[in-house]
Chains A and B, each alone.
Chain A
Amino acid sequence: MSGILIDPGKCIACRACEVACEREHGRSFITVFEFETSAVPLNCRHCERAPCVEACPTGALFRDGDGAVLVDVKKCIGCNMCVLACPFGIPEIAGKIMVKCDLCPDRRAEGKLPLCVQTCPTGALTYEEPSEFSMSRRKAYAERLALRRAENAPGL
C-alpha cells in the first residue's frame, strides 16, 4: 500500500505543503517544524497497525480502499482517545470531533497525488510503496558507489 514518505533531508521549510493542504481542507493537516539547521514536515502516517484505530471506542476510525485511515464524523464523539494513542500527536479535536489528514481521497480517486506531495518543490514528500522507495534508495546508493569506482578506474 502506498503512503506518504517524508525525507526531512530534502525539506527546505517552505511550507508549501501546509498552504496547499489548508487551501483545500480549510486547515492544514501537515505541520512543518523548523530548526536551526533542518526542518521536519509531519502528517498522519496512516500506520499499518494504527494505534488510533485500535484506541477508538466507537469505531469511528476506518480504512478506505487505499488503506488511508479516515474518520467517520457521525461516529466520532470527540473523546480524545486517538489523540492520546497516536505516537506522532497527529489527531486534533476541532470543535467536537477529530480531524486529521485524509490523504486527499478526491484526488486519489482521480488518480492524482495527494496535494502536499504534488506541490512539494523539493520532492521531500513522495507518495509510493515503502518497498519501492527503499529499492530506489538502494539502487541510487549502489549507482553512486559504482560511479566512484568507474571514475577511478584506469583505462576506461
Chain B
Amino acid sequence: MKVPVVCPYCGVGCRLYIERTPSGYRLEYADDIPGIPNENGRLCPKGNAVLDLLSKDRLRKPLKAKEEGKFVEVSWGEAIKEVAERLREIAKDDPRQLMFFGSAKTFNEPNYLIQKLARMLGTNNIDHCARLCHSSTVAGLKAVFGAGAMTNTYRDIEMADVIMIWGHNYAETHPVGFRYVIKAKERGAKVIVVDPRFTRTAWFSDLFLQLYPGTDIALANGIMHVIIKHGLYDREFVEKRTVGFSELKRTVEKYTPERVEEITGVPAELIEEAAVTFARAENAVITWAMGLTQSVHGYDNVRAVATLIAITGHIGRPGNGASPMRGQNNVQGACDLGVLPNVFPGYQAVTDPEKRRFFEEFWGAELSGEVGLTTIEATHEAEKGRVKAYYIMGENPAISEANSKRAIRALRKLEFLVVQDIFPTETARLADIVLPATSMLENEGSLTNTERRVQWSFKALNPPGEARPDWWIVSEIGKAIGFTGSGARGFNYRSPEEILREINACTPQYRGITPERLKENLAGIHWPCPSEDHPGTPLLYTERFLTPDGKAHLASVEHSGPAEIPDKDYPLILTTMRYVGHFHTLTMTGRSELLRKRWREPFLEVHPDDAERFKLKDGEWAVVETRRGRYPVRAKVTKAVKRGVVAIPWHWGANVLTNDAIDPVSKIPDTKACACRVRPVSEAEARKLLDELREMGVVA
C-alpha cells in the first residue's frame, strides 16, 4: 500500500508516497495527485532522501541525565512524571521562569498543544524557530496588510510577468517551488534578483541587483523613488486602497538612484530599470526569505518591500502578491496555532481581554495577558537566571541561535532542560530529560505550507523503539501536571484528529479545515476557511486588507545599516547562506549518506581580490573571526560574492560568528550581516580549533 505523506523538510510541502515492500520501504513519487504543490510529484534531493530518517542513531527510549551528556534510560512513566513535577514546581514559584519552544518541523496538533500547555501553566513564554527566520515578515506584513502570511500561491508566481526575488536563493532553498519561476520564464516573464551573492537563483535573472548585505531599505526606497518620480505607481489603487502615500513620497524623495548606488553598491541604471520593469508589469510578485528578514531592521525591510508592492497595485489579483518563503515545512502552521509569545491560535492577541476571556473559558484556566519572551530574549533571561527551565520540542538552539556560544552558556545555566526530538542533537546533550519523538513519517497530522495550504500527512512507518508522537508526549505531560478536564479543558486526547477538531473550534482561519476534509482532499485547503462548506482562500486581499480600516498602511522607512559595520579590525562583511542538499542544523540531512557525500563541508566564499589581499587560497583553510567567535573553514575563491563580502553556509555551526543584536519589533537577530576578518591557517590548527568548538557543542 502506498501511504501519502508530506516531505519533512522545506515549506513547499511536497507530497510523496512511502510504500512497504518485502525488503523494507521505498519512496514513490506522487505523480497521480492533482493540485499538490509539487506538480507531478517532483522532489528535490532532500525529498529524495527522506527514508534516511530511519537512520540507526534515532532516539529510542526516554533518557535522564546523570551528569551533562551522560544518560540512563528511564521508562516513559518516570520521564513524564519528572517533567510534569519540575514544570509544576517552577510554575508555582513564577510561571515566567518557564520557556517553551514549539517546532516548525512537527504537525499543527502538537504545536497547538504545546502552546496550550505553556498558557495553561500561566505563561506566554512560547516561541519557535520562526523567530529566527520570518518573525519580521509576520510583523512587517501585519503592519502593512493586516496579516503576516503569503498572500498568494505558487500558481500566482507561475502566472506573473515579473518575479522579483529578494534576499532569497529560491533555486537552492525551495527547488521544487522554483519550478514555477522557470515555468513563468518560459512564458516570457522577467526575473529580477536582489542578493549580495550571485546565487543559482541569479543564474535565471534578467536583472541582477547585487547589494551589500543590510542595505535593503535603501534599495527599496530607491526603486520607489523612481516609480513615484515617473508616475509609474498605480494611482487608483493607491487612492482607494492605501493610506500614507504623501509621507512615503516625502521619505523616498531623497533616495535618488545615485545616492542609493553609493549605499547599496547597485548601479543607478539598474535601479531605474528594475523599478520601471516591476511597476510596468501587468502582473508581478515579490518573493523573499532570510536575506531580507534576518536583520536588525528586518521589520522595516519587510514593510518597505510590502509598500513597494502596494503602491504598484501588485496585490489582491491572480498573478500578483507578496510571497515570503518559509524554510521549514510547518513554520506557517506553528505561527497560525499560536506558538508565538503574543498571540493565541489564529493570531488573537493575548493582550486583548476579549480574546483572553474566550480562551480562559475554552481551556478552563486563568491565562496571562502579558506578552511572553521570544527565543533570543529567553536566552538572555536564562543567562541572568531569570528563566530557569526550557521545554524544547524539535529544535536545536545550540547550533541555530545567532551567537551560539552565548546560547550554549544560557542552556547550561538552566535548572531544568527537556528536549523532545528524533535524534540526539547538540542541544539534547545538555538536557536533563530527553524524550524520543517520532519523525513526520511515523506519525500523522496536519501541517501548513508556505502557501497557507493545510495538508494531512499519513503514518507510513512504525517508529523505532519506544519513540512516541509529539502530540502524545505533550498530552501525557499535560495530564500528569493535572490538566485532566474533559474536552478542550484538559489533555485527554486519543488522536491527532481530536486535536484538530479542537483547533477548528478556536481558530477562525481553520474553522472549516476538518480532519475528514483533509484526508479526502490530498491537495489540502488554503486558510482562511471559515466554514466546512468553504473551499478555502488561495488569494488574499481581493477586496480589502485585514487592517482595521481595510487599507494597506504604506510604511515610510529610512535606511540604516546593519548593527555592525566593517572597520579597521574587522574589514569584511560576513553573510550566511544554505546548501540545497542540507537542512537547518544537519540533525536530519547530516545523517543521510546520499546527501552528506554530495555536500560534504562548508566553504567560505571569498572574492578573488579579497583572497589575494588576505592571502587565502582556494580549497585551503582559513579562519573567520568576529567579535563573538572564531570558525575555521576552507576557502572557495569565487566572484559570486562582491568584493568586501564573504559568505558561509550556516548548517555546520557558523553561528558562533553571527551577531545576536535584534530587531526591536520582531526580535529577529542580525544573522545576515556582521563585521569579520579572515586569515589563512594550517590544516592542523584548523582541525584543533574545530575540535574545540565541537567540544563546546556549537558545531555539528
Q: Give me the interface of A with B, judged by CB distance under 8 Å.
A: 10, 12-16, 18-20, 22-23, 36-39, 112-113, 118-123, 140, 144, 147
Assuming A16-B43, A122-B178, is B27 touching A23 (CB within 8 A)? yes
By the criterion CB–CB under 8 Å, are B188 and A121 in contact? no
Residues from chain A with a CB closer than 8 A to the CB of B640 are 36
A140 and B640 CA atoms in complex are apart in Å by 32
Greatest chain B CB density within 10 A among A113, A120, A121 is at A121
A-B contact pairs, 13 of them (CB 8 A): A12-B178, A14-B44, A15-B45, A19-B594, A36-B198, A39-B200, A112-B31, A118-B29, A121-B176, A121-B178, A121-B179, A122-B179, A147-B188
Residues from chain B with a CB closer than 8 A to the CB of A22 are 594
Assuming A19-B595, A36-B640, is B27 touching A122 (CB within 8 A)? no
Question: Would you give the shortest CB distance from A137 to chain B, in whole angstroms?
Answer: 10
Assuming A23-B27, A37-B203, A140-B186, is B172 touching A121 (CB within 8 A)? no
Q: Determine if B48 is an interface residue (Cβ-Cβ < 8 Å).
A: yes
B174-196, CB < 8 A from A: 175-176, 178-179, 182-183, 186-188
By the criterion CB–CB under 8 Å, are A123 and B179 in contact? yes
Assuming A10-B182, A16-B47, is B594 touching A23 (CB within 8 A)? yes
A118 and B172 CA atoms in complex are apart in Å by 19
Greatest chain A CB density within 10 A among B44, B183, B639 is at B44
Q: Which of A23, A39, A123, A147 contacts B182 (CB 8 A)?
A: A123
Q: Determine if B230 is an interface residue (Cβ-Cβ < 8 Å).
A: no
Proximity bits, B475-487, A CB within 8 Å = 1, else 0: 0000000000000
Residues from chain B with a CB closer than 8 A to the CB of A140 are 186
Q: Determine if B580 is an interface residue (Cβ-Cβ < 8 Å).
A: yes
Q: Which of B29, B48, B175 contacts A122 (CB 8 A)?
A: B175
Q: Determine if B638 is an interface residue (Cβ-Cβ < 8 Å).
A: yes
Residues from chain A with a CB closer than 8 A to the CB of B186 are 140
By the criterion CB–CB under 8 Å, are B175 and A12 in contact? yes
Residues from chain B with a CB closer than 8 A to the CB of A16 are 42-45, 47-48, 175
By the criterion CB–CB under 8 Å, are A13 and B43 in contact? no
A36 and B48 CA atoms in complex are apart in Å by 25
By the criterion CB–CB under 8 Å, are A13 and B580 in contact? yes
Q: Determine if B598 is an interface residue (Cβ-Cβ < 8 Å).
A: yes
Greatest chain B CB density within 10 A among A18, A19, A38 is at A19
Q: Give me the interface of B with A, judged by CB distance under 8 Å.
A: 27, 29, 31, 38, 40-45, 47-49, 51, 171-172, 175-176, 178-179, 182-183, 186-188, 198, 200, 203, 580-581, 594-595, 598, 638-640
Nearest 9 CB-CB pairings of A with B: A12-B171, A121-B175, A19-B45, A19-B48, A121-B176, A14-B175, A16-B45, A14-B580, A20-B48
Question: Would you give the shortest CB distance from B194 to chain A, in whole angstroms?
Answer: 18
A29 and B200 CA atoms in complex are apart in Å by 23
Residues from chain B with a CB closer than 8 A to the CB of A144 are 187-188
A10 and B42 CA atoms in complex are apart in Å by 15
By the criterion CB–CB under 8 Å, are A15 and B638 in contact? no
By the criterion CB–CB under 8 Å, are A121 and B44 in contact? yes
A123 and B31 CA atoms in complex are apart in Å by 14
Assuming A12-B172, A144-B188, is B598 touching A122 (CB within 8 A)? no
Residues from chain B with a CB closer than 8 A to the CB of A118 are 29, 31, 40-42
Residues from chain A with a CB closer than 8 A to the CB of B179 are 121-123
Question: Which residue of the partner chain B has the closest CB to A12?
Answer: B171
Q: Which of A14, A36, A119, A147 contacts B171 (CB 8 A)?
A: A14
Question: Which residue of the partner chain B has the closest CB to A21?
Answer: B48
Residues from chain B with a CB closer than 8 A to the CB of A14 are 44-45, 171-172, 175, 580-581
Question: Which residue of the partner chain B has the closest CB to A124?
Answer: B182
Residues from chain A with a CB closer than 8 A to the CB of B48 are 16, 19-20, 23, 119
Assuming A119-B29, A119-B42, A119-B43, is B188 touching A19 (CB within 8 A)? no
Question: Would you give the shortest CB distance from B29 to chain A, in whole angstroms?
Answer: 5
By the criterion CB–CB under 8 Å, are A15 and B171 in contact? no
A102 and B176 CA atoms in complex are apart in Å by 25
A140 and B31 CA atoms in complex are apart in Å by 24
Question: Would you give the shortest CB distance from A138 to chain B, in whole angstroms?
Answer: 14
A43 and B99 CA atoms in complex are apart in Å by 52
Question: Would you give the shortest CB distance from A121 to chain B, in whole angstroms?
Answer: 4
Question: Would you give the shortest CB distance from A118 to chain B, in whole angstroms?
Answer: 5
Question: Would you give the shortest CB distance from A46 to chain B, in whole angstroms?
Answer: 22
Question: Would you give the shortest CB distance from A103 to chain B, in whole angstroms?
Answer: 17
Residues from chain A with a CB closer than 8 A to the CB of B31 are 112-113, 118
A15 and B41 CA atoms in complex are apart in Å by 16
Question: Would you give the shortest CB distance from B89 to chain A, in whole angstroms?
Answer: 48
By the criterion CB–CB under 8 Å, are B45 and A120 in contact? no
Question: Would you give the shortest CB distance from B16 to chain A, in whole angstroms?
Answer: 10
Question: Which residue of the partner chain B has the closest CB to A24?
Answer: B26
Question: Which residue of the partner chain A has the closest CB to B199?
Answer: A12
Question: Would you give the shortest CB distance from B365 to chain A, in whole angstroms?
Answer: 46
Question: Which residue of the partner chain A has the closest CB to B52?
Answer: A23
Residues from chain B with a CB closer than 8 A to the CB of A20 are 43, 48
By the criterion CB–CB under 8 Å, are B42 and A13 in contact? no
Question: Would you give the shortest CB distance from B611 to chain A, in whole angstroms?
Answer: 15
Greatest chain B CB density within 10 A among A14, A39, A118, A147 is at A14
